[in-house]
A and B are shown apart, each in its own frame.
Chain A
């Protein structure tokens, strides 16, 4: 930086101050800086503190970025760069990191309330079946279709008393 001091506009600016509160940068020569009460020692302390914050932030990010899915080997960093995950297990491996993202995409919801796969999990299938039957039963009652309601109630009882899948 070869700019001139913003105050005297004569000497070379060697003190560069970032005013965090006023969000502006000032470039002064050493004389003007001293006159304004900016002590070089103080400013270097500030720089040091900022630098340390920066390093801490960077290493924090690096620790997150280095997380690796044990199944497919993708790192969180690779995901961040591509926007695509490596395998279904990544949702396990990176869960706390992914949840905020999913929440944003789903307007705050992170509990799946929709359809469940029929083949994947017999217990889930049973739950879904029960829910569907209860719904049909309610509809039959609402429509005063008592014959269907009786049949559905029997089915429901049978399913509820069956061994858990």
Chain B
């Protein structure tokens, strides 16, 4: 399994299928986590950064988080491959343009992408076609549980999960729905 095989297929959300896919193009849930024993990436040394990568890559491959998935070393990947990953919404631009040890675990159906060493140590994304927030949310939660059972995430009783950017602190979860809006605007539903 490699990027070449991915390139020959299209991700599920690209089919334009799924519930309410005439209006909702995709449902995405993202989650941010950091390892408690490492500094955030802003101050991490390159050794620490490599350490985070190693610990997370191991945990992903040893749990259901990495089931049916393969790991791409983004630092070693060619510019073209990085661009391909950005276009497929599997990594962020920030991740493609970044520096140092980093990677992404991608499930074969392209539904799940787990970025290592983006803004936070761990960024989990699940993306599906149509309106499927519930199933997308529970898949993200499963990944979180599987990894959280092995790893100590940075957590504060008052604030919740700790993230590099204080506005993401708490659940560390971001939900987004990409919708086709003109029809809605026309009927004044929003």
Give residues in A with beta carbon < 8 Å to B: 71-74, 82-88, 90-91, 98, 101-102, 105-106, 110-112, 114-121, 124
Contacts and interface: CB of A to CB of B under 8 A. Distances in A.
* Chain B, interface SS category: loop
Given A85-B40, A102-B167, 17 more contacts: A74-B43, A83-B165, A84-B119, A84-B165, A86-B43, A87-B38, A88-B40, A88-B154, A90-B40, A102-B170, A105-B168, A112-B156, A112-B159, A112-B160, A116-B155, A118-B149, A119-B151
B157 A124 contact: yes
16 contacts: A71-B39, A74-B43, A82-B42, A85-B166, A86-B39, A86-B43, A87-B38, A101-B167, A102-B166, A102-B167, A105-B166, A106-B170, A112-B157, A112-B170, A114-B173, A118-B148
* Chain A, interface SS category: loop
Nearest to A86: B43
Nearest to A105: B167
Given A102-B169, A124-B157, A86 B42 contact: yes
Interface in B110-163: 119, 141, 144-145, 148-162
Contacts of A105: 166-169
B158 A74 contact: no
B49 to A, nearest CB: 13
Contacts of B171: 112, 114-115
B164 interface: yes
B27 interface: no
B101 interface: no
A111 B155 contact: no
Contacts of B153: 117, 119-120
Contacts of B67: none
Interface in B40-77: 40, 42-43
A79 to B, nearest CB: 9
Nearest to B144: A115
Contacts of B173: 114
